[in-house]
Structure 1
């Protein structure tokens, strides 16, 4: 038996339409190639800043409670920035190929549903909705305090969910329409208007203009009113931040979108329209600068994180209550424009941290510092791997499982980083105050736990699916052609849905029927129960081990028969990934299970998070080692194609992007101006099925 790429003796015929790229097209988009290089650099820098801002906001319980809207806003900005980066990498590659071959695929609105478009429209509708909600919240806090206490003080998570849901409908409904009833022969370079229609593009622009402008007006009203009455320093700081964010969003997003609307009716110079993506990148990172400027708590917290609390030696001492909640019985310092009200005395139970507790967790404080540094480094590597895999149409088609795996690994890494920052802060405060909140399984549903359990169940499922796919390709080619050649996205969706149930159902149970008095430092077992922790460990051990067995079987079988170089490269990568995942994740989890029954030394259990970090970044190294296409593509991206001057030209552009192999079409005098029909045969002799099968 041989691989599916060489198993069929019946030649197949492929017919596909292509658009003929004209000299006018080339002259129009040529300047964009260099602009996209700038967008990649600026967008990546701003994305890193947005991730830092998100990390700081999630690093303490107090920040997660007070700045819930800002945490959501930072996520929306990361979506928008990811869209800009992926647009730049995708379109730059497309234009380079189109210039070389003068051919491009004929696109429909369905085939234009690319990742970068979905990221961009999600950010386009989600971000202004959250900024508007922030403006309403501040206006009600100052002008309508009764509404603020009734609605925003207790229902903020529901309001955020509602605003996010409304924005989601603006993305979901047009996406379904474009997928079910596609528009034919749209702009070959795609875009929001090509994917969703011209009217949708106008709605997108108008939505941003109106909502950002309203948000700025609401914040401005609140700020003017607040200047006339006494406000607490914290409330005034928050109001200044919200006003600055809404003003800058209006300046950097709303006004360029307004100019885009005007450009539809009266053509404006390109120099006015072109900077819009760079302004959007700046807006994505601006929140970090605003908070460093106006919020002393945020600034101090950021300096604590980057210096591992060493900054405290050089800055004025601030009480621990500035960063954590401890019992306070006093009048609230919140003064509204209507009245000053005496807040009721709060009676809250606290866990008394003992000397034994301190001695147990003290070494962890320093280990968490290491986890933050290593985890952040591995997260950058995992993100870089994701960017390379998304950078060309061919990679997005052939390595869709690897792309999904890189996303699962980023979830795990984000969980490790947030766990380290959260627990380190918790332990430092507990040492200083000897008090900690009494926790339930509901209050233990923290962001870092959610990120970790998603990665714990999603990652091994995808690795197992990769192993099954390779084994079927080599051992059962008929099943491979029937299932994996056509239904890979559906299989990934199913494989993602199954572990999703392992997260969603226990989360709902813990939220609805919480366990009382769980471990005060929280964790997966505290949030979901002891049995869930054992299931988590066993799930990882079994699925990673099975994935390695399937890949190993496929590799042994493949060595006995002739395989195409690309298939063999893919098989080596999958085998290496499953082996390393078994080594770095499955074995430590197995040791954790053994530790329940027979206590093992701490030096065996402690390195588990660092091994998980290494596993999160290992895919990048595996592909650089075993996949020549990936290695070359990475070098192209980091050198902006300058590497081609120093590398052998053996690999044509078709090595990275699908172009029609019978290039004699370029000399065919019967071709029409724009669209061509090309028929060609792929026989057994060339060792491959039609493009994108393996």
Structure 2
């Protein structure tokens, strides 16, 4: 069916007024999406510009999370752009386009949104499980945990791809069913699948936060040096999962209660996409706050240093008193743009 040719004229004055508000809301989605996408590009620039950062398994895992978040920010950016154009067309023509479930499902922004909805919470869950294994079974973990980043990447794809496929199978089965013109998860994939995606977001981030809390308590209360070394890794995961729990899990939990608490849901649902976008762009600030090596590389990249001194040089130079003048030089270079 050609959506552009099959239209019905049912636009009311009240709806036109609301559509102007929706255009403003989705322009903000474009803005937030672009800003958070840019922050993730900066994050990758810092990680990839340093051989030391790139080689560490911990940082490779963080880059996988950054990749998942990047898909989400792109999805929100393109969703905002799509909705602004769509609502503007309705305002100008006073007509709704007719859409089918399959036409909605193959919208590029909705495909990206599916990845952005599922992949980040799954990555955080797998990271949380890995951190727990490193703390609760340290000997086994370090014997079998050589290519941890590759395993994490593969295991998350094993969950992501079939989950996405289920949604598209549902949409294809209902490919001729007419749906609401602005599309979305419910329109393309059905209410049950959309609820399932909400649950993945809620449970994924909550489970990640919970398991990181338990892991941090265990790591902090032990005297095993191998285990205590994991505290710094768990710290990143704990902060990130807490932010995700607050910004994504709680609003999505409230959205599921829409039938019983409609006014509350309206209050929460309007900024919920902004919260989700911020959640996918805020990790760079967590690393700047908690990761001295990342912070050091960030300063060199964006403060126009003539000579890039690696973080390893700082550690190496600090070991001997004969090299004290070298340390002073490096420290001065590091803090000159702070």
User: Which interval holds the TM-score relative to the shorter structure?
Assistant: 0.7 to 0.9
Contact between 2:205 and 2:241, CA under 8 Å: does it hold in 1?
Answer: yes
How is 1:498-647 mapped onto 2 (pairs within 5 angstroms)?
none
Q: TM-score, normalised by structure 2?
A: 0.83
How is 1:164-175 mapped onto 2 (pairs within 5 angstroms)?
164-175=157-168
From 41, 44, 59, the counterpart of 2:49:
59
- Mapped to 2, the partners of 1:63 and 1:74 lie a distance apart of 14
Helix, strand or coil at the partner of 2:255: helix
From 128, 134, 153, the counterpart of 1:141:
134
Contact between 1:56 and 1:302, CA under 8 Å: does it hold in 2?
Answer: yes
Helix, strand or coil at the partner of 1:263: coil
Q: TM-score, normalised by structure 1?
A: 0.42
Asked if 1:271 corresponds to 2:267, the answer is: yes
Post-superposition shift, 1:32?
1.4
Asked if 1:248 corresponds to 2:237, the answer is: no
Contact between 1:19 and 1:188, CA under 8 Å: does it hold in 2?
Answer: no
Contact between 1:130 and 1:164, CA under 8 Å: does it hold in 2?
Answer: no
Asked if 1:236 corresponds to 2:236, the answer is: no
Contact between 1:50 and 1:78, CA under 8 Å: does it hold in 2?
Answer: yes
Identify if the C-alpha distance between structure 1 residues 146 and 268 changes in structure 2 by more than 3 Å, giving closer, same or farther.
farther
Q: Render the CA deviation track for 1:426-446: whole Å, top value 9, x for unaligned.
A: xxxxxxxxxxxxxxxxxxxxx
Post-superposition shift, 1:158?
2.5
- Mapped to 1, the partners of 2:252 and 2:203 lie a distance apart of 10
- Mapped to 2, the partners of 1:273 and 1:139 lie a distance apart of 33
Say how many residue pairs are matched.
Answer: 308
Asked if 1:102 corresponds to 2:98, the answer is: no
Post-superposition shift, 1:58?
2.4
Helix, strand or coil at the partner of 2:188: helix
Identify if the C-alpha distance between structure 1 residues 99 and 271 changes in structure 2 by more than 3 Å, giving closer, same or farther.
same
Identify if the C-alpha distance between structure 1 residues 219 and 46 changes in structure 2 by more than 3 Å, giving closer, same or farther.
same
State the partner residue of 1:199: 192
State the partner residue of 1:124: 117
How is 1:384-423 mapped onto 2 (pairs within 5 angstroms)?
none
Structure 2, unaligned stretches of length 5 or more? 319-338
Contact between 1:73 and 1:130, CA under 8 Å: does it hold in 2?
Answer: yes
Post-superposition shift, 1:26?
2.7
Contact between 1:43 and 1:81, CA under 8 Å: does it hold in 2?
Answer: yes
Q: Larger radius of gyration, structure 1 or 2?
A: 1
Post-superposition shift, 1:226?
1.6
How is 1:197-596 mapped onto 2 (pairs within 5 angstroms)?
197-230=190-223, 235-269=230-264, 270-310=266-306, 318-319=314-315
Post-superposition shift, 1:229?
2.7
- Mapped to 2, the partners of 1:168 and 1:208 lie a distance apart of 16
Identify if the C-alpha distance between structure 1 residues 321 and 167 changes in structure 2 by more than 3 Å, giving closer, same or farther.
farther
Contact between 2:29 and 2:76, CA under 8 Å: does it hold in 1?
Answer: yes
Contact between 1:80 and 1:284, CA under 8 Å: does it hold in 2?
Answer: yes
Contact between 1:108 and 1:186, CA under 8 Å: does it hold in 2?
Answer: yes
Contact between 2:61 and 2:152, CA under 8 Å: does it hold in 1?
Answer: no
Identify if the C-alpha distance between structure 1 residues 155 and 121 changes in structure 2 by more than 3 Å, giving closer, same or farther.
same
Post-superposition shift, 1:147?
3.8
Q: Render the CA deviation track for 1:480-523: whole Å, top value 9, x for unaligned.
A: xxxxxxxxxxxxxxxxxxxxxxxxxxxxxxxxxxxxxxxxxxxx
State the partner residue of 1:20: 9
Post-superposition shift, 1:307?
3.1
Asked if 1:162 corresponds to 2:119, the answer is: no
- Mapped to 2, the partners of 1:173 and 1:250 lie a distance apart of 26
Identify if the C-alpha distance between structure 1 residues 235 and 302 changes in structure 2 by more than 3 Å, giving closer, same or farther.
farther
- Mapped to 2, the partners of 1:63 and 1:316 lie a distance apart of 10
State the partner residue of 1:42: 32
Contact between 2:219 and 2:230, CA under 8 Å: does it hold in 1?
Answer: no
Identify if the C-alpha distance between structure 1 residues 104 and 150 changes in structure 2 by more than 3 Å, giving closer, same or farther.
farther
Helix, strand or coil at the partner of 2:197: helix
Q: Render the CA deviation track for 1:23-47: whole Å, top value 9, x for unaligned.
A: 1433443311111122211221111
Structure 1, unaligned stretches of length 5 or more? 1-13, 323-694
State the partner residue of 2:335: none
State the partner residue of 1:187: 180
